[in-house]
Amino acid sequence: MVEAWYMDEAADDPRLPHRAEPARPVGLEQLRRLGVLYWKLDADKYENDPELEKIRKERNYSWMDIITICKDKLPNYEEKIKMFFEEHLHLDEEIRYILDGSGYFDVRDREDQWIRISMEKGDMITLPAGIYHRFTLDEKNYVKAMRLFVGDPVWTPYNRPSDHLEARTRYLEFLARTA
């Protein structure tokens, strides 16, 4: 099951866990109230997984590819890692399914505090359009992930501040309705 927690304020290596002291764990229900969805799947059978197919059909995830993030496999690795960790939002959902390895998604809560979501093999997450977030590898420096999209992929990150965008406005309205 996914593990999430509030982060400390340390500015050192982002690949470290950065757990707040005292510990402040975050459960799936709190993540759901932020619009973050989570599934645990069998990554060893992702090519023929009826559960994954069911989710893709229900949520209209029609496009997918697989990305491997490590120094040996990702061109412009250092630049991409910095870009992924820059706080940003997207106009569409961000859907990632971890097929191997591990990493962290960080999302902002209602009070603008960072929540770190530890992702490992078999974890699938959907971040809603308009949520500020970022991604980093953990100390293992390796993740292989399936990227899913509704329709054609759009990779554009909008770095903070992007509060003027309609996706952000809709997300804030969602938060107000679910408060």
The answer to whether 164 is a known ligand-binding residue is no
Strand partners, 4: 26, 117
Distance of CA 92 to the CA centre of its chain: 13
Residue type, 147: R
- Say if residues 3 and 118 touch (Cβ distance below 8 Å): yes
- Calpha distance 120→113 (Å, rounded): 23
- Say if residues 143 and 100 touch (Cβ distance below 8 Å): yes
- Residue 129 tokens read as 């359009």
The answer to whether 133 is a known ligand-binding residue is yes
Q: Could you tell me which residues are annotated as the binding site for Fe(2+)?
A: 88, 90, 94, 133
Which residues are annotated as part of the binding site for Ni(2+)? 88, 90, 94, 133
Q: Which residues are annotated as a binding site?
A: 88, 90, 94, 133
